[in-house]
Structure 1
Amino acid sequence: MSLQVVILAAGMGSRLGRSLPKPLTELNDGRSIMRQQLDNINEAFGPSVPVTAVVGYRSEEIVDRFPEMSFVYNEQYDQTNTSKSLLRALKASGKGGVLWMNGDVVFDPIILTRAASIIARDQSMVTVNTSSVSDEEVKYTVTAEGFINELSKTVRRGALGEAVGINFISSRDKAALIHHLGRVRNDDYFERGLELAIEHDRVLLEPMDISDLYAVEVDFAEDLERANLFV
């Protein structure tokens, strides 16, 4: 199977209070968040796997820093959310499934090693953390068969944990997700497109539990402090 990887890096990241694009935030080990992600991708899948970043805010700084990557531009980065950035990337992708991640997640490289077996089956999946259920995070529930049912910040009852922001859409499910990402509002997160694909196209999303590993979405300064405890 032909794997492609997408990093969503178009946003302004204003909550972190820094002028640089958030993926360029430096960690304690001297790497940027995006460099840590690329190192993890290369470790799990090899250096030849194609990686595309969706850029917008101060895009030239990311482009200059990572000449080995391909880029898709979201010129409306200040008016749209991750749903429209992912839509642009999926439309630009070739045949095969796509692994994507938010550009502000600092994570254990073992996560991608664990995901590789699911990707090899061409099975759509969402990584989840069952040890935490915060009102501010994307939460999930599952069906009786164990596949994702609800996936949003507004899940109110029966939430089993949080979505981590690292996901895979299979080759057979990609067209359905593209369709529904085109339907959602500009301010929707990509999880809304996944929910619609589940509801209308019966897309099966397998939750992959990474509660024993670290994954920190860096939104605020305290998140960055926590991420630096692991790298």
Structure 2
Amino acid sequence: MSTQIVILAAGMGSRLGRSLPKPLTELSDGRTIMGQQFDNVAHAFGRNASVTIVVGYKLEHIIEAFPQASFVYNEEYDQTNTSKSLLRALQASPAGGVLWMNGDVVFDPRILDRAVALIARDQSFVTVNTSKVSDEEVKYTTSAEGYIKELSKTVKGGLGEAVGINYISSRDKGILMRHLAQVGDQDYFERGLELAIEKDRILVEPMDVSDLYAIEIDFAEDLERANLFV
């Protein structure tokens, strides 16, 4: 079964202050953020990898830029957060696990190389960076067995930050969908994962990529930093 890949790109991305959807922001090498993501996906999974993009804000620009993708529409993109965008994508997906990423992450292609082994085992995981912990980012803690325990921006004593590239296994997908449906409209998808871990004891591994770059583009300074790597 081929790997199913979802990119969450429905939001308005207003903090970056661009007129187009944030994933279409151009990098210093001429590619867009999402263009770099597609190249990374092709590097790890081949040019024919199945990619679904969740669209909303100015969706026609993303559809025009990536006609090879499939699309899921979050018509409430201006009223909901990533929990509801991910839910729509999972509901539309066929049987099997799903790899998903935020549409504003510029990252080292070797991250997906590292993910391939976990996906082959159908093991749910969250990609993490242990080298820094800031208030603005989603943080995590682990259980005694080494699996993800807490996952949110409000975690105290976080071990590192979640990068925004994750995988839900075929056996855990239905559980995650149930919790994504129950969380608030403004919740991030991490809240659904956190509840699935707490209530249903799903096992989610932290995949450490601290030695590789992964930068979520929220502000102009994030873009400047990402351009040092591409």
Q: Which residue of 2 aligns with 1:205?
A: 204
After superposition, where does 1:164-183 map in structure 2 within 5 Å? 164-183=163-182
Tell whether the 8 Å contact from 1:197 to 1:203 is kept in structure 2 after alignment: yes
Q: CA deviation at 1:107?
A: 0.1
Q: Which amino acid aligns with 2:130?
A: T
Q: CA deviation at 1:195?
A: 0.5
Tell whether the 8 Å contact from 1:3 to 1:98 is kept in structure 2 after alignment: yes
Q: For the residues of structure 2 that align with 1:49 and 1:203, how far apart are their CA atoms?
A: 27
Q: TM-score, normalised by structure 1?
A: 0.99
Whether 2:27 is the aligned partner of 1:6: answer no
Q: For the residues of structure 1 that align with 2:2 and 2:152, how far apart are their CA atoms?
A: 29
What is the SS of the residue equivalent to 1:117? helix
Q: Which residue of 2 aligns with 1:216?
A: 215
After superposition, where does 1:1-231 map in structure 2 within 5 Å? 1-156=1-156, 158-231=157-230
Q: For the residues of structure 2 that align with 1:181 and 1:110, how far apart are their CA atoms?
A: 29
What is the SS of the residue equivalent to 1:127? strand
Q: CA deviation at 1:214?
A: 0.1
Identity %: 76
Q: CA deviation at 1:2?
A: 3.4
Q: For the residues of structure 2 that align with 1:16 and 1:178, how far apart are their CA atoms?
A: 30
Tell whether the 8 Å contact from 1:2 to 1:95 is kept in structure 2 after alignment: no
Structure 1: 5+ residue stretches without partners: none
Kindly provide the CA deviation profile for residues 110-169 of structure 1, in whole angstroms up to 9, marking residues without a partner as x. Answer: 00000000000000000000001001100000000000000000001x310000000000
RMSD over equivalenced CA pairs, Å: 0.6
Q: TM-score, normalised by structure 2?
A: 0.99
Q: For the residues of structure 1 that align with 2:41 and 2:52, how far apart are their CA atoms?
A: 12
Q: For the residues of structure 1 that align with 2:202 and 2:79, how far apart are their CA atoms?
A: 28
Q: Which amino acid aligns with 2:79?
A: Q
Q: Which amino acid aligns with 2:181?
A: G
Q: For the residues of structure 2 that align with 1:18 and 1:2, how far apart are their CA atoms?
A: 35
Q: For the residues of structure 1 that align with 2:46 and 2:3, how far apart are their CA atoms?
A: 11
Tell whether the 8 Å contact from 1:2 to 1:97 is kept in structure 2 after alignment: no
State the aligned residue count. Answer: 230
Displacement over 6 Å in runs of 4+ = none
Q: CA deviation at 1:48?
A: 1.8
Moved more, 44-53 or 188-197: 44-53
What is the SS of the residue equivalent to 1:118? helix
